[in-house]
Amino acid sequence: MIHDSRPEAAAQLEWLGRLVPADGGIPVEGGIEGEAMHLLDLSPEPDRPLRALLDPAAVGRDLDRLERLQEDDGGWVVDFDSSSAAGALEWRGYQTVWAVRTLLVHGR
């Protein structure tokens, strides 16, 4: 990872970390209503350098949010517009794998 191999990366990461809102909710400009980046989108793994800059309670709330978004059939949908029904289904698969992995690495 870049942070591990480039000395200047730590300072850049700290600068970028200050730009992340405490709750991590960053609306996507030009996106559909409700489309946003969240803390877990920015830092899905607990042991990476960015995580040290984030409020653990906020990360916990975002994990709770992710759990609540699980559909009755066990999958997750994306919060962005897909170009077709087939595209939405394909993205749903990616989102589900990402969500399950993210929850597992956090012991959920």
pLDDT for 3:
74
pLDDT of residue 30: 93
Tens-digit pLDDT string for the chain (108 aa): 777 788 898 899 999 889 999 888 899 999 999 899 999 999 999 999 999 999 999 999 999 999 999 999 999 999 899 999 999 999 999 999 999 999 999 999
* Token pair of 47 as six digits: 């042991």
Per the listing, tokens 């170009």 go with: 83
What are the residues facing 36 on neighbouring strands? 27
pLDDT at 5: 82
Backbone angles phi, psi at 93, to 5 degrees: -65, -45
Domain span at 98: 2-105
Reported as type and span, the H/E element at residue 26 is strand 26-27
Overall number of domains in the chain: 1
How far is the C-alpha of 71 from the C-alpha of 16, rounded, in Å?
Answer: 33
